[in-house]
Amino acid sequence: MTTHAIAETAALTGRTLRHVTRSVDTILTTTMMPIAFLMLFVYVLGGAITTGADSYVNYLLPGILIVTIASGISYTAFRLFMDMQSGIFERFQSMPIARPGVLWAHVLTSLCANLISLVIVVGVAVLIGFRSPAGVAAWLAVAGILLLFTLALTWLAVIPGLTAKSVDGAAAFSYPLIFLPFISSAFVPTDTMPGPLRAFAENQPLTSIVNTIRALLADQPVGTEIWTALAWCAGILVVAYLFAIATYRRKIS
C-alpha cells in the first residue's frame, strides 16, 4: 500500500470512527449481551457447572470475549450495508481513492470499536471476581489473538455487508457466530458432551482459540494448541479477505 493510499485509508477511517463516536450506544449495545451472558452463567448457572477451575468466571471469560467480538462485528456489516444503500461507494468510485481503502476503513473501525468493547467486558469480569496471574507477555499474546480473530471475523462481516438485501440480513449473519461458542469449550469442558457433539466441539476453531486464551490468562503452558488457534485465525482471515475483495470488485464494477 503506497503512502497516498495509507493517507486516504486514514481519512476514510476517521469518517467511520466519527460515526461510531456519535452513537456511543452502538458500543454499549454490543457489550450488553456478553455482559448479560457473563452474569447469567456466573451467578445463575455457574454453581451447577463443574469445570475444575478455581473460579468459574476465570474459566468463562475467554468464551465471553469471543461472544463480544461476534456481537460487535455485526455493526460492521450494518455500516457497510448503509453505505451501499446511500450510494457513497459510487461517489468514492468517481474520486481518485484507492478502492480497498474504503473497506479497510470499516475494518479498522471495527478493530477500534471491538477493542473498547473487550476492555469494558474484561472490566466487568474483574468487578465480579476475575483474576489472572498472567504477566505482560501473556496479556499481549491474548490481545494479539483477539485482534487477529477480530480482523478475520470483520472481513467475514464485509461480505454480507456488501451483498445483503436488507438491514436485518446484514446483521443476521453474526447470530451463528454468537452461538457457536456454546458448542465449544467456552462454557463447559467438552468431555461432558455426548459423542458426536463432543467431536464437533473439539475440532471447531473456537475451542482451540478459547483454550489458548484460557491457558495464557491462567499462566499455564499452551503447548501446540496456540499454533492451531493461530492457524484457524489466519485461515479464516485469508479466505474472508479474498472473498470480500472479490465481492467488492464485483459490486462496484
Q: What is the pLDDT of residues 200-240, one digit of tens each?
A: 999 999 999 999 999 999 999 988 899 999 999 999 999 99
Dig out the grid coordinates for 201 from the structure. 466441539
What does the pLDDT look like over 172-195, one tens digit per residue?
Answer: 777 888 889 999 988 888 888 888
State the pTM of this model.
Answer: 0.86
Residues 6+ apart with CB under 8 A from 26: 20, 75, 113
pLDDT of res. 8: 55
Residues 6+ apart with CB under 8 A from 66: 149, 181, 186, 206, 209, 210
C-alpha atoms less than 13 angstroms from C-alpha of 46 in its C-beta half-sphere: 18
Dig out the grid coordinates for 193 from the structure. 458432551
pLDDT band at residue 27 under the 50/70/90 scheme:
low
Residues 6+ apart with CB under 8 A from 15: 105
- Residue boundaries of the structural domains of the chain: 3-252
What does the pLDDT look like over 44-79, one tens digit per residue?
Answer: 876 667 666 678 889 999 999 999 998 888 878 877
Mean pLDDT within 86-103: 62
Q: In this structure, is the dihedral angle defined by the CA atoms of residues 130, 139, 38 and 45, taken in order, positive or negative?
A: negative
pLDDT of res. 97: 58
List, in sequence order, every beta strand (DSSP E) within 71-173.
none
Select the more confidently predicted residue: 227 or 82. 227
Dig out the grid coordinates for 223 from the structure. 503447548
